Structure 1
């Protein structure tokens, strides 16, 4: 089967912007080649956001994954700009792949490139989701604890304490003379410092515990992403093995006896 023969198997399809060619979960019965216009491939994230995996334009193809593995569609295909598409049915697609292994390998290369872009997108998205999810559950007390912990671990706090010590000693040693309220050895100052330390320690621990929770959440998301990558890589390798077997079988059948 030649490329010219394939052109006769394609059907033309026009779609307006804003319409869906297919939705995630639909049965995969065709793949598409964009002649003009743009198509957005997107999925629904677990937090309800619409996440764009790729935006395709003239010359790009999509919808081949469901044809290769026989599974249902894994994403939505939304027409972003009035488009004309060439449609190839599953039956014609499979016969063409079997008769033209070189095109099949090029298609696998394109799939691998898309997978890398998707992995990069998911990695950044996971990083953002950790912060967004954590911020969504913060209470007023949590935010106050973070601010206090941030201030308590800064040079501003050290300078503030030095200024407090010096001012306290000046007031109770020279400036107030016989009206001092905390004479040397500044017992009341020690009491104030003890109260500050006693309150500051658990507040800082609260902030550290929340940071530990965020780290665990990030580690969990990293694990899920790595697992997804591993499964996707295994799937690509399986498809490559299938194409390799079909190619070897095809070349052996064409050898002259």
Structure 2
């Protein structure tokens, strides 16, 4: 009963009746994992799909900086491993048991056969993959961007901090007003109106030297600050590129799986139509093919696929 209750929480099995759920359970194998034990690892081949019956498990990935990120934590009714099982490619995430976990494993061949027999399950899988991909991209982008800024700030020397402060102040309105007041007062004080008080008479050689030195030192401080900011921007751009590249690869996998499942749906539709061609007419002259497979149903599935494609393209943009 515990296993069947967990399976009913899985979107793939939500539309199935009691007999169908028991049939799926009959082809699944039960496994038990100790707390902290890794259920699946990144990079290993995936040929099984898992449903958690008891316990909790964490979905873990590593960002571009090598830090471990927890995507989510699932309990009874949670499932994972569907992407690698569908593509035949290495696992994209690592799943670790938080406490003792009992899980049911479904073989790839059995799962693909199940999707072909139940098209709504294919739509549920695609929507789940889209949500997980969106969350993964957001976590990676937020985490690596913050790490780059924090790392750059932690490595600042006292001279670089002073250069940043001086460069920032030299571009402010108070600095401009201060220079205008200083230069104006200097020029007025050294006019011939007050004989004996003019310490820098025309052509104001001392003021010229001071202004030149100020310009030289300010230029150096601004260049130091700009060079540091350029290095920081370059690191951020590299991180953004890595995140976008990773997201593009993941979205490409989702789109390829969508194409495969759409072809499977068309194949199942054609096979159903071929089998129904030989059925006799129903009462009133309506064919069994039209009655069991009306155009409205086909249109509904087509619209759901189109909406799903639009959602995935929004994530890509």
> TM-score by structure 2 length?
0.68
Deviation at 1:62, TM superposition (A): 0.8
Q: Which runs of 5+ in 2 are unaligned?
A: 1-18, 279-317
Alignment-derived partner of residue 171 in structure 2: 153
The within-5 A match list for 1:15-164 is 15-135=33-153, 138-158=156-176, 161=179
Alignment-derived partner of residue 232 in structure 1: 250
Alignment-derived partner of residue 306 in structure 2: none
Larger of the two Rg values belongs to structure: 2
Distance change >3 Å, CA 12–CA 164, structure 1 → 2: farther
Q: Distance in 2 between matches of 1:72 and 1:203?
A: 50
Deviation at 1:82, TM superposition (A): 3.8
SS at match of 1:220: helix
Number of residue pairs matched by the alignment? 253
Q: Which runs of 5+ in 1 are unaligned?
A: none
Alignment-derived partner of residue 215 in structure 2: 197
What RMSD in Å do the two structures reach over aligned CA positions? Answer: 3.0
SS at match of 1:59: coil
Q: Distance in 2 between matches of 1:192 and 1:245?
A: 78
SS at match of 2:25: helix
Q: Distance in 2 between matches of 1:170 and 1:136?
A: 47
Asked if the contact 2:64/2:239 (under 8 Å) is kept, the reply is no
